[in-house]
């Protein structure tokens, strides 16, 4: 225990903290400008000077660690005089633009001036000037306002790891500039402007549109872009989001945001939002009233049920919809129409990946806290690019790298290229081979001395037939020395994190891939994280939006589980698992006559695009609920406008399996649209279903808590602060007497080893030629991002990216047109030559209309899980 005295008050401290922290924790305010809890100690602004007994000079409280017996004074005349002096220094070059500066009202310097400032200045020389810089579409710099606290630079450098900006010049002429000059070449995380205490670096998105005190409210909510589930504040005025601001100290992200989260909110207010229900009449979608549309949809669905049975109806739940929406969705189909044909984008890999991991290690195997990644001795990423798809989780990996930990990437992790210690840049599809090679090396180095904690798994590991190094090198294109080095880096770590992408499960070798991953994870004592690209992809699984699972992950086929749901819902449930996602499309017009698609765009977001379109056209009846007129919605018979993320209440479950609460921020925006669950309940009512009597989304959570053993006892108020981490208050499967879902490990391991064949490279791979890979860029993720003005300003359209060598090989130059054609179709894209990309790969995204590269892929189904494995046939990439 450390005991110090501040202003005569005795303060007991648990551990060593700075005087500033000690003071703040005890309600003693010390003004600061350069210090920030997310950043390293700096001591530059000198505002926090305090007097410490026995020290002749004033000390910066932000840098001095409190020592036992210290006596500190924070407001003596000497301290106040020094503070006034520092403020005077800061103001001599600071322009008095408060009347026109957006920051006025929430400016730290302004606040301090009110408190300590002199009535008149004594500086009569000319102020330093810098022209305002508006070369960038998003960020504006007014460097004469800069007080050189360097929070932005430190944020960019040490937290974001982007190192895109720096201090230029010396002394009073110091200022901050992006290394790229006027326009930023950066990740647009916006963390620089979020930590700027003055108006030197600001967002152009809301420039000159309001004064901070005119803001109606700031609503704490969870981001709508990816599965990390960052906490953020939506600042609202006039029922519109004026800006997104960080919530430091809160959530998994502790105030950090990414470009999409920070600047991508524009889609909410987009004029292209769907406003009224649309019904297809004479081949054309026509506006219709809600009541009419709901009644029509209900009657058509009933008609199909009556004619073909409930199983003729299929549903795709929404990864951007809330748990409440998705719970009601599966109940609507199961209890209302007797159909288990319910699936989602989790089928593209997450579901299978999670199933395989949980089969090996038990339910919740991937329910780990993201903030633990930075503290791992090593991080292994496989078939994913966390810094692009889940940027704030990527920051955790970068933090680990910064702390000198080992970071090994398998596959193309562009967002970690400057941070990782070891790269195994194997081509898409061959990650499993690299894993096998890595395991082989690990076993060789460990001389088979394994941890000894799970003998069953160890026996299985020792039976693995792993490829010889030269074989691995041939199949992956990665030099064997690199694999050996990576193994050496990993072999002695005591804790580690493994982050795996869904592509590892979207493979014919999925089971083997995960067995290898589990073996490596076991040896290096890893916690697992599965990439989740959508905000509520995990929630889809947990809410029972899968053909074989009820909410809480309970198999629908087991009577003991079904029973409690039947009791609550008041109907008998169909015990037979339904069709999986791709099966529904494959059987469209045949066994499947109608589909209900909620907040998803399968015509664009699934491999085999053209085929999916054709399937949708074959249906007797298609209902689509969405916020925009998507490729899928334009094929629908009924289009129902749903409310967007800030317009509704509910919960999301992030990739940690943490349930977090969304709060309604906008009241009138999207007024004519309805919550997804309300639409479903409305149709249900028209269809005579009386078991969805919800008045508010909280009623749904209450029902979930009654019926799902995993969510037993869950209350909305439990989620107020940090959300709630798995397993909540409930009973996970595989614990407390429940049977595990998947065959025991030994059986699974046997299944692996009886098949002597080792994984070969995936079908999209041609080691010698050029391959096509789907780019998952930082700034776009499809349906939402393409309606966000700011994100379009950063990257305005689709591009085919390749390294200079690849460009040369293909005869393609920067800005030129590239034609990419496959057996599935063709598209023309603008070429972007980018240094640092792996050779022999052309990257194309799946984000812009008419330019969805996923549509160029066909697929085959992995037999066990029916996960579509993307395949490219007859690839040709030529300059135009």
Q: Which stretch binds other proteins (CB under 8 A): 86-94, 395-403, 714-722, 763-771?
A: 86-94
171: left (phi > 0), else alpha (psi -120 to 50), else beta?
Answer: left
Q: Which stretch binds other proteins (CB under 8 A): 145-153, 473-481, 678-686, 807-815?
A: 145-153
User: Could you give the 3-state DSSP secondary structure of residue 796?
Assistant: coil
> At how many degrees (to 10) do helices 480-490 and 431-446 cross?
60
Long-range contacts of 441-445 (CB under 8 A, 24+ apart): 441/469, 441/483, 441/484, 441/486, 441/487, 441/488, 442/487, 442/490, 442/491, 442/520, 442/523, 442/524, 443/523, 444/487, 445/487, 445/488, 445/491
Q: Which tokens is 372 given?
A: 């633990």
Contacts of 819 (CB under 8 A, 6+ apart): 826, 827, 828, 876, 877, 878, 879, 880
Residue with tokens 């919530």: 247
Binding flags for other proteins, 169-188, as an x/- string (CB under 8 A): xxxxxx--------------
**Which of 13, 19, 20, 86 is in the footprint of other proteins by CB under 8 A?**
86
2 counts as binding other proteins under rule CB under 8 A? no
Cα gap 556→558, rounded to integer Å: 6
Choose between 122 and 717: whose C-beta lies nearer to other proteins: 122
Cα gap 334→317, rounded to integer Å: 13
CB of 31 to other proteins, least distance (A): 12
Choose between 233 and 399: whose C-beta lies nearer to other proteins: 399
92 counts as binding other proteins under rule CB under 8 A? yes
Contacts with other proteins in 196-225 (CB under 8 A)? none
Choose between 63 and 691: whose C-beta lies nearer to other proteins: 63
CB of 786 to other proteins, least distance (A): 40
Cα gap 585→594, rounded to integer Å: 10
Choose between 119 and 695: whose C-beta lies nearer to other proteins: 119
Q: What is the DSSP letter of 646?
A: G
Please list the residues that pair with 18 across neighbouring strands: 65
419 counts as binding other proteins under rule CB under 8 A? no
Choose between 82 and 810: whose C-beta lies nearer to other proteins: 82
141 counts as binding other proteins under rule CB under 8 A? no
Is residue 29 packed enough to be buried (19+ CB in 10 Å), middle (13-18) or exposed (0-12)?
Answer: exposed
Choose between 32 and 330: whose C-beta lies nearer to other proteins: 32
CB of 92 to other proteins, least distance (A): 6
**Which of 17, 80, 98, 167 is in the footprint of other proteins by CB under 8 A?**
167
User: Could you give the 3-state DSSP secondary structure of residue 28?
Assistant: coil
Pick the closest to residue 595 from 867, 587, 852, 854 (CA basis).
587
Binding flags for other proteins, 706-725, as an x/- string (CB under 8 A): --------------------
Give the number of other CB atoms < 10 A from CB of residue 21. 18
3-state secondary structure 273-286: CCCCCEEEECCEEE
Q: Which stretch binds other proteins (CB under 8 A): 87-95, 577-585, 625-633, 781-789?
A: 87-95
Choose between 42 and 726: whose C-beta lies nearer to other proteins: 42
Choose between 46 and 657: whose C-beta lies nearer to other proteins: 46
CB 603 within 8 A of CB 631: yes
H helix or E strand, kind and range, residue 392: helix 391-402
Q: Which stretch binds other proteins (CB under 8 A): 82-90, 519-527, 668-676, 768-776?
A: 82-90
User: Could you give the 3-state DSSP secondary structure of residue 352?
Assistant: helix
Query: What are the strands of the beta sheet with 658-662, ordered from one edge?
Result: 650-653, 658-662, 724-725
**Which of 18, 35, 61, 93 is in the footprint of other proteins by CB under 8 A?**
93
Give the number of other CB atoms < 10 A from CB of residue 721. 12
Choose between 86 and 510: whose C-beta lies nearer to other proteins: 86
Contacts with other proteins in 290-329 (CB under 8 A)? none
State the number of binding residues for other proteins (CB under 8 A): 33
Give the number of other CB atoms < 10 A from CB of residue 389. 23
Q: Which stretch binds other proteins (CB under 8 A): 43-51, 480-488, 575-583, 730-738?
A: 43-51
Binding flags for other proteins, 49-68, as an x/- string (CB under 8 A): x-------xx----x-----
**Which of 6, 13, 28, 45 is in the footprint of other proteins by CB under 8 A?**
45
158 counts as binding other proteins under rule CB under 8 A? no
824 counts as binding other proteins under rule CB under 8 A? no
Choose between 170 and 447: whose C-beta lies nearer to other proteins: 170
Choose between 401 and 410: whose C-beta lies nearer to other proteins: 401
Choose between 46 and 422: whose C-beta lies nearer to other proteins: 46
**Which of 25, 123, 610, 713 is in the footprint of other proteins by CB under 8 A?**
123
CB of 176 to other proteins, least distance (A): 11
Pick the closest to residue 639 from 339, 198, 249, 278 (CA basis).
278
Choose between 5 and 63: whose C-beta lies nearer to other proteins: 63
Q: Under the rule (CB under 8 A), what is the footprint of other proteins?
A: 41-47, 49, 57-58, 63, 82, 85-86, 88-90, 92-93, 122-123, 125, 147-148, 150, 166-167, 169-174
């Amino acid at each position: 225990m450390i005991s110090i005295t501040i202003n005569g008050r005795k303060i007991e401290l648990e551990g060593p903290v700075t005087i500033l922290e000690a003071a703040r924790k005890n309600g003693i305010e010390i003004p600061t400008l350069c210090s920030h809890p997310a950043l390293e100690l700096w001591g530059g602004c000198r505002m926090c000077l305090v007097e410490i007994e026995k020290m002749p000079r004033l000390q910066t409280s932000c840098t001095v660690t409190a020592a036992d017996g210290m006596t500190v004074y924070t407001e003596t005349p000497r301290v106040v005089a020094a503070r006034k002096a520092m403020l005077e220094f800061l103001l001599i070059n600071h322009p008095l633009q408060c009347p026109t500066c957006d920051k006025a009202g929430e400016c730290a310097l302004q606040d301090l001036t009110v408190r300590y400032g002199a009535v008149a200045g004594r500086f009569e020389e000319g102020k330093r000037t810098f022209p305002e810089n508006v070369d960038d579409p998003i960020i504006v710099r007014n460097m004469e306002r800069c007080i050189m606290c360097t929070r932005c630079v430190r944020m960019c450098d040490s937290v974001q790891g982007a190192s895109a900006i720096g201090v230029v010049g010396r002394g009073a002429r110091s200022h901050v500039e992006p290394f790229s000059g006027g326009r930023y070449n950066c990740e647009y995380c916006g963390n620089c402007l979020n930590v700027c205490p003055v108006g030197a670096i600001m967002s152009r998105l809301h420039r000159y549109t309001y004064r901070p005190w005119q803001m109606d409210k700031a609503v704490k909510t969870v981001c709508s872009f990816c599965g990390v589930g960052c906490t953020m504040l939506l600042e609202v005025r006039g029922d519109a989001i004026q800006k997104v601001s960080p919530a430091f100290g809160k959530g998994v992200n502790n105030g950090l945001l990414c470009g999409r989260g920070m600047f991508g909110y524009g889609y909410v207010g987009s004029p292209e939002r769907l406003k009224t229900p649309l019904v297809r009449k004479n081949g054309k979608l026509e506006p219709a009233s809600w009541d009419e549309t709901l009644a029509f949809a209900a009657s058509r669905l009933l008609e199909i049920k009556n004619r073909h049975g409930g199983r003729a109806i299929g549903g795709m739940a929404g990864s951007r919809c809330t748990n409440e929406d998705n719970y009601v969705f599966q109940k609507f189909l199961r209890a209302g129409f007797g159909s288990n044909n319910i699936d989602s984008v989790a089928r593209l890999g997450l579901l299978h990946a999670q199933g395989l991991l949980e089969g090996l290690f038990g339910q919740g195997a991937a329910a780990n806290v993201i903030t633990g990644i930075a503290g791992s001795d090593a991080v292994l990423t496989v078939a994913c690019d966390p810094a692009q798809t889940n940027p704030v989780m990527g920051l955790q990996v970068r933090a680990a790298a910064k702390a000198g930990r080992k970071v090994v990437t398998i596959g193309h992790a562009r967002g970690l290229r400057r941070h990782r210690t070891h790269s195994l840049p194997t081509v898409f599809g061959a990650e499993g081979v690299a894993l096998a090679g890595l395991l082989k090396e690990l076993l060789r180095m460990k001389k088979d001395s394994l941890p000894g904690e799970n003998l069953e798994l160890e026996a299985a590991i020792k039976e693995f037939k792993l490829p010889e190094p030269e074989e691995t090198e041939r199949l992956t294109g990665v030099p064997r020395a690199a694999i050996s080095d990576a193994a050496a880096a990993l072999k002695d770590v005591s804790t580690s994190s493994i982050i795996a992408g869904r592509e590892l499960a979207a493979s014919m070798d999925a089971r083997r891939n995960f067995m290898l991953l589990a073996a490596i994870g076991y040896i290096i004592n890893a916690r697992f994280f599965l990439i989740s690209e959508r905000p509520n992809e995990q929630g889809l699984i947990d809410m029972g939006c899968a053909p074989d699972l009820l909410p809480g992950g309970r198999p629908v086929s087991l009577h003991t589980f079904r029973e409690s749901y039947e009791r609550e819902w008041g109907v008998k449930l169909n015990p037979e698992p339904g069709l999986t996602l791709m099966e529904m499309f494959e059987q469209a017009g045949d066994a499947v006559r109608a589909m209900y698609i909620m907040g998803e765009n399968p015509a664009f977001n699934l491999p085999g695009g053209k085929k999916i379109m054709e399937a949708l056209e074959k249906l007797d009846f298609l209902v689509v609920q969405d916020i925009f007129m998507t490729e899928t919605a334009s094929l629908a018979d009924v289009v129902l406008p749903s409310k967007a993320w800030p317009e509704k209440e509910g919960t999301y479950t992030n990739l940690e399996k943490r349930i977090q609460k969304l709060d309604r921020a906008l009241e009138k925006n999207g007024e004519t649209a309805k919550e997804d669950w309300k639409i479903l309940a409305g149709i249900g009512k028209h269809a005579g279903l009386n078991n969805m009597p919800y008045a508010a989304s909280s009623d749904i959570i209450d029902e979930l808590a009654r019926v799902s053993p995993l969510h037993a006892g869950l209350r909305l108020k439990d989620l107020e602060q940090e959300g709630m981490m798995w397993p909540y208050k409930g009973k996970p499967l595989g614990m407390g007497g429940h049977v595990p879902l998947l065959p025991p490990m030994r059986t699974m391991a046997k299944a692996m080893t009886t098949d002597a064949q080792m994984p070969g490279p995936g079908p999209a791979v041609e080691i010698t030629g050029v391959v096509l890979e789907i780019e998952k860029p930082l700034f776009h993720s499809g349906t939402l991002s393409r309606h966000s003005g700011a994100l379009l300003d950063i990257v305005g359209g689709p591009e085919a990216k390749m390294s200079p060598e690849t460009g040369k090989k293909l005869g393609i130059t920067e800005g030129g047109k590239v034609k990419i054609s496959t057996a599935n179709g063709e598209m023309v894209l603008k070429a972007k030559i980018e240094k640092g990309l792996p050779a022999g790969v052309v990257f194309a995204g799946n984000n812009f209309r008419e330019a969805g590269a996923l549509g160029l892929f066909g697929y085959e189904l992995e037999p066990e899980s029916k996960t579509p494995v993307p395949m490219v046939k007859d690839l040709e990439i030529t300059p135009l």
